[in-house]
Amino acid sequence: REPVILQYQDLNRRFFFGPRYAGERDRTSGGSGFIIDGNRIITNAHVLGPRNPVRIEATMTDGRVLTVTGGLVDRMLDLAVLEVESQDLPVAPLGSSDDILVGEWAIAIGNPLDLGTTVSIGVISALDRDFQEPQGSYHYRDMIQTDAAIHHGNSGGPLVNALGEVIGINSFIYGGGGERGYDFGSIGIGFAIPIGAARRFLSEIETYGRVRLPWHGIVDLQDLTPRLAKYLELDNTDGALVAQIAVDSPVYMTDLARGDVILAINGETVRSADGAWGILTQMRVSETCTIDIFRRGSR
């Protein structure tokens, strides 16, 4: 199995607005990834940073440095696939998200703290973890939870089972105090994107040659305050208020209207605006969904 270490250098101009100076600096960052075929590597989108990096290099465990020649990113799913010049590289076998069991062994491979290729072992702690609120810029759903040690630099690396099959992509941890991130180190609560989501991402690229961005037409959703819920005759503040819809959009052609309260999407309860966005961002082009709404006192 051949994990890789990813590094990129961002040479774009960065301005620091303040009372004393404005300047620029080079920024180098890193992460992990794994090879899925002869010349492609998969990783997290956030490993590449919020902007397009100038140069990306992939370092193999044997010391070889591969130049990345291209790639595609799905920033909604926090996934990226990179193409490298070398051919016939050793490939990591992909497992199935449907076969994972809570309690089975889990092995995290990556480049934590820029130490080089590192392996940690644990178990699958839970499945189908959803986060109502975005973690940074991303909405994570159906995540795999593991207690295998994950640190900064593990992002994008493989989570494998006892057979060496990749079952997830290590993405983030919870630090002390319930905060997402790496400032507190690993406390045994790490999360990985299921390999099934990566398979759908790769299928989209292989079928259409690009990542198609879904569009539903809901422009703005708002949380319900107790006062607003009482005015709308709702028993609680669960749900998301539709504040704006784009004209001639898919939802514009339906019965959904400004002022409706979204209670559920595809049967899944919506508790906040972030929760609704999280469900919607996981949907792909051509998919349909059912939305339960509350309007003028009735569901």
Cβ contact 186:118 at 8 Å: no
Kindly name the residue from 32, 155, 171, 186 that is annotated as catalytic.
155
Kindly name the residue from 10, 32, 46, 260 that is annotated as catalytic.
46
Q: Please give the distance of CA 226 from its chain centroid, rounded to a whole number.
A: 32
> Any catalytic annotation for residue 155?
yes
Work out the number of other CB atoms within 10 angstroms of the CB of residue 44: 25
Cβ contact 180:136 at 8 Å: yes
Kindly name the residue from 10, 32, 74, 78 that is annotated as catalytic.
78
> Any catalytic annotation for residue 46?
yes
> Any catalytic annotation for residue 78?
yes
Closest CA to 43 of 87, 95, 8, 85: 8
Beta bridge partners of 26: none
Residue 181 to residues 135, 139, 189, 191: CA-CA distances in angstroms?
9, 15, 11, 11
Q: Going by C-beta distance under 8 Å and a sequence separation of 6 or more, which residues neighbour residue 58?
A: 4, 5, 6, 33, 41, 65, 66, 67, 68, 82, 84
Closest CA to 148 of 101, 188, 191: 188
Cβ contact 83:39 at 8 Å: yes
Provide the annotated active-site residues: 46, 78, 155
